[in-house]
Chains A and B, each alone.
Chain A
Amino acid sequence: QQQVKQSPQSLIVQKGGIPIINCAYENTAFDYFPWYQQFPGKGPALLIAIRPDVSEKKEGRFTISFNKSAKQFSLHIMDSQPGDSATYFCAASIGGAQKLVFGQGTRLTINP
């Protein structure tokens, strides 16, 4: 049973566009929602994270939007660049970042 469902599986956007990756969860006890970025041949690295007490968090060109009532959260990348091409994973956990449940991943390609 996939506790965190991520879509789309793959996404192609032109440079400067705004890719949006969505995640949905069922367990209302989740209280930590990070996004990880993974480049080919590398391990995932934390990109940005949000707690459910806020509806939006922005770090540079990356923004998380969080909708608690809909049990959904999404990642937006402003002014996307070819260097943003990577696989992105959403995740969720309860009571800390100890046991993360990951979404299926989205392979993002930004064309020049």
Chain B
Amino acid sequence: NAGVTQTPKFQVLKTGQSMTLQCAQDMNHNSMYWYRQDPGMGLRLIYYSASEGTTDKGEVPNGYNVSRLNKREFSLRLESAAPSQTSVYFCASIRGGSGSYNEQFFGPGTRLTVL
């Protein structure tokens, strides 16, 4: 049981390049999330998917797109990377639907640098 896995672990991009961050969970969780972590800012929600086939914007969605490929996988795409998107990105998942108080499980993170 690997939990939440993310690839890649590290990535360096040039301004304007695109890339997709991959996330997968093997816990049969319904909801999945993408956060970014910046010093002094805590974790901020980018996008989330409450269930397979649905996605919604979080607090900081600009410059990102997501795809809930199936129940296991939730990807985050940067179409045209900007230096302001330099951050550590975390994927998370949670069992149960709306109203559940279960734990959000986090992946190990992807450290992205945009030059």
Q: Which residues of A contact B (CB under 8 A)?
A: 4, 6, 9, 32, 34, 36, 41-46, 49, 51, 89, 95-105
Contact = CB atoms under 8 A, between A and B. Distances in A.
B103 A9 contact: no
Interface residues of B, number: 27
Interface string B92-110: 1010101111111111110
A102 B40 contact: no
B45 interface: yes
13 contacts: A43-B108, A44-B90, A45-B105, A51-B101, A89-B43, A97-B94, A97-B101, A97-B104, A98-B94, A98-B100, A102-B42, A104-B41, A105-B40
A1 to B, nearest CB: 10
Nearest to B44: A102
Interface of B: 4, 31, 40-45, 48, 50, 58, 90, 92, 94, 96, 98-109
Contacts of A9: 40
B81 to A, nearest CB: 22
Given A6-B42, A89-B42, A95 B98 contact: yes
A42 B5 CA distance: 12
Given A34-B103, A43-B90, A98-B98, 19 more contacts: A9-B40, A41-B108, A43-B109, A44-B43, A44-B106, A45-B105, A95-B98, A95-B99, A96-B99, A96-B101, A97-B102, A98-B48, A99-B48, A100-B43, A101-B45, A102-B43, A103-B42, A104-B40, A104-B42
